[in-house]
Amino acid sequence: MSGFVYTGATADEIWPLVRDFHYSARSPSPPRHAFAIRQTGGIFGDTGLPVAGLTYSQPVSRYFPTEAVELSRLVRREDFEGQLSEFISWSLRWLRANTKTPFVLSYADSTHGHHGCVYQATGFVYVGATARGKIGFTLPDGSFIHARACNRRFGTNGIGEVTRLNPDWVPTYGEPKHLYIFPLRQKWPTIARQRGWAALPYPKPKAARPLDAPGTTGREAGATPAGRSSSQVAA
């Protein structure tokens, strides 16, 4: 697969991919690092159009240390068929070499048919699934509003208050999310002991097609890396 390079990126460069090809259509906040697979272009061949991207952000959950990062967006164009597991591995090597990040975490959202195949292919450790929880509300016309949008609009996403203001809105619950961990500057036994985790067998796919399968849209899942340390994608 010639004609593409791995580079650092800005969150603004990744945003069009998230807007057009990620199920959330929403940027994570606050991003810390961003990376892209680009078409070759420019004097040094590393300023072409991004065809895939990922971002690492501060973990949303307060349960995790602020020094850790969450792989918060992983997305690609529908017409790009490159291996995203190789891309993730490249970004993890950069983080290990250039930051003091103890570990990376990421979720695979079973509500959207994901079980984490791309994380399994990259060597992440599977530690379990979150509980099924409320993700928002379904409106009478069939549209959906996310709990975070309710926070911005009403100052809360609590069922009692939101349904008091909107009696015909129906609370909507999502399926569990699979949690994966990738050790960087901290060794897995230390992480497991401190967090009370154990490595569990990988979950199996249902009807979902893996992110590494050709033709699959990346819908999983900051400071920009110094310069544009690029790497040619293997042919």
Which tens digit of pLDDT belongs to each residue from 146-174? Answer: 887 888 899 998 899 999 999 999 988 76
State how far the Cα of 235 lies from the Cα of 232, in Å rounded to an integer.
Answer: 9
The pLDDT assigned to 189 comes to 97
Q: When comparing pLDDT for 14 and 1, which is higher?
A: 14
The pLDDT assigned to 222 comes to 30
Residue 212 has pLDDT above 50, yes or no: no
Please say whether the dihedral angle defined by the alpha carbons of residues 143, 147, 149 and 151, taken in this order, is positive or negative. Answer: positive
Q: When comparing pLDDT for 223 and 143, which is higher?
A: 143
Bridge-based pairing of strands 177-183 and 144-146 is: unpaired
Question: Residue 73: exposed, middle, or buried by beta-carbon count in 10 A (0-12, 13-18, 19+)?
Answer: buried
* DSSP state, residue 2: -
Q: What average pLDDT does the structure give for the chain?
A: 82
**227 Cβ contact partners less than 8 Å away, ≥ 6 residues apart:** 8
Residue 191 has pLDDT above 80, yes or no: yes
Residue 128 has pLDDT above 50, yes or no: yes
Band of residue 34 on the pLDDT scale cut at 50, 70, 90: very high
Lowest mean pLDDT among 55-59, 77-81, 133-137, 140-144: 133-137
The pLDDT assigned to 226 comes to 34
Q: Which residue reads 């995203």 in tokens?
A: 84
Residue 116 has pLDDT above 90, yes or no: no
Category of 21 on φ-ψ map: left (φ > 0), alpha (ψ -120 to 50) or beta: alpha
State how far the Cα of 33 lies from the Cα of 11, in Å rounded to an integer.
Answer: 8
Cα–Cα distances (Å) from 172 to 9, 24, 139, 145, 151, in that order, read: 35, 16, 10, 9, 15
The pLDDT assigned to 108 comes to 85
Query: Residue type at 178?
Result: H
